[in-house]
Structure 1
């Protein structure tokens, strides 16, 4: 089989240029034709001819026009924004970027937990006031961390927690699959896990089952000194219930990289809560993002060359 043409869509991902992605692909696939169109018209022509396309999204019309497209490599882990039926009708395989976020987002989770444990946010406020005053802190060792979602990110979080001497509980759709945590429960047992949780990490996809999963009842089940980190999707948490719980001191704090709504309006009450830390969906940002994406696609291009269709991270 001749070297396939690879079309890289002109879309910025996490603020990084697609040019960097194309360069990473060329490093791994020196004999392949890796092309980024300069204009929308050129991109349309490229989509109509390239057997492999990679980027964030394609409209239904673009998919239907891409008669030669055998593989679309989505550069996000989630593919809910794609019309998968259109890709399937077009005979196009779709892969995602699952696993790319493991190292960077798990570091965000650990940083958020440790910042809370050692009271850094309070320290930073006192530092801004030039105020030398001792304050209480905690230890992570010996606590219980519950991770909801044991995909690539959840597993990476658990791996990085291991040296800290904590007990871990995993919550997943299919508990029979097990996982790296000390204990694995299904979603029907989540309240049992929450009642024993010191630190709650949300790393699950947003689905019908997980939408509003952390509601007033769940927040009441958590101990009042519990801390929550959400790097899943904003809709996994009922925002109004969270605001009420934080205002009533029903949990001790939260680190939110995702919110509902998103972006979070600048007059939203979450901004004014000292016990809440907010980042603008930033946990996934890393200069190594495209390097990891390129590794996945390079593996799949090699399989494509050999007529294989068991692509890594294949969705459909």
Structure 2
């Protein structure tokens, strides 16, 4: 049963190079009358989780879960939960929540920056600046372009919101197109529909989870179908793109360029050919970083902790994961 006062145990792993103590401080600020404790070592995790019913963390190791005798809610600090022992949690009746929505603003800005970089060809200007070369070059204009966004979750919606003032046409791809979305057009994942969209796409934004449907979605057929003046922006997961097909498309000028925050493999080996293309922007899975990460996460988790005290497992938790 829920404790009469909020009691949250935070596990030791942080993210994006930010100390986990910042997350604990954000939770304590939002739960001033509750108890927020930090298990700072592996031994402390195994000991503290024994009587913890509401636990927050990035990961949940098997030995830590083995020690959890009272666990009822695990508040995952990532949007994705595929790394968690979901089957074991389901067997034990543990409610799992995630951090969906935390990344929307920062990744939306990352995508917009990548698109504008290629539209105005800032990478060409930067190269000529390094050479101290005053020579004009041609650029593109974003207005009137077609942007296809694969995945209309929190990130896809944030991207769409930020594109709205630029006068672009947007196509959204989602599992349930009948639900509609913020884009001008919404389609499903049927191959014919996706290829039809690719043929008229100027900027392809991948913001979907990695599933059986999306793995290898952008393969050689897709590369041959997409408009050759198109740019691909991947902030989803590396395997959504067939890497060999991407390298082949870049070498054959089948696409104008790519902005990759995620790759397959990841990290990208030093000798990989993707490093060598002038029309490829690579960032080290960094789009998710924001100094406001723990604050946004704490808003969700603190709210759910209060609901848990009031209603137990019958609470209408924000970001509840169906497992």
TM-score range, shorter chain: over 0.9
Q: Structure 2 length as normaliser, TM-score?
A: 0.96
Moved over 6 A (4+): none
CA contact (8 A) 2:45 2:64 kept: no
CA contact (8 A) 1:212 1:238 kept: yes
CA contact (8 A) 1:214 1:238 kept: yes
Partner of 1:312: 318
Distance in 2 (alpha carbons) for counterparts of 1:199 and 1:291: 32
> Offset of 1:32 from its aligned partner?
1.3
> Offset of 1:39 from its aligned partner?
2.7
CA contact (8 A) 2:24 2:36 kept: yes
Q: CA RMSD in A?
A: 0.9
Q: Structure 1 length as normaliser, TM-score?
A: 0.98
Q: Does 1:145 align with 2:147?
A: yes
Greater CA drift, 282-291 or 303-312:
303-312
**Which secondary structure state, in structure 2, belongs to the residue aligned with residue 6 of structure 1?**
strand
Distance in 2 (alpha carbons) for counterparts of 1:158 and 1:226: 18
Distance in 2 (alpha carbons) for counterparts of 1:10 and 1:293: 16
Q: Does 1:270 align with 2:274?
A: yes
Partner of 2:178: 176
Alignment of 1:1-316 (within 5 A): 1-188=3-190, 189-307=193-311, 308-316=314-322
Greater CA drift, 55-64 or 106-115:
55-64
Distance in 2 (alpha carbons) for counterparts of 1:239 and 1:157: 24
> Offset of 1:123 from its aligned partner?
0.7
CA contact (8 A) 2:149 2:205 kept: yes
CA contact (8 A) 1:230 1:256 kept: yes
Give the gaps of 5 or more residues in structure 1: none
Distance in 2 (alpha carbons) for counterparts of 1:109 and 1:39: 37
> Offset of 1:61 from its aligned partner?
3.3
> Offset of 1:187 from its aligned partner?
0.7
Alpha-carbon deviations, 1:46-98, whole Å to 9, x = none?
Answer: 11111111111112332232111111000000001011111112221000000
**Count of residues paired in the alignment:** 316
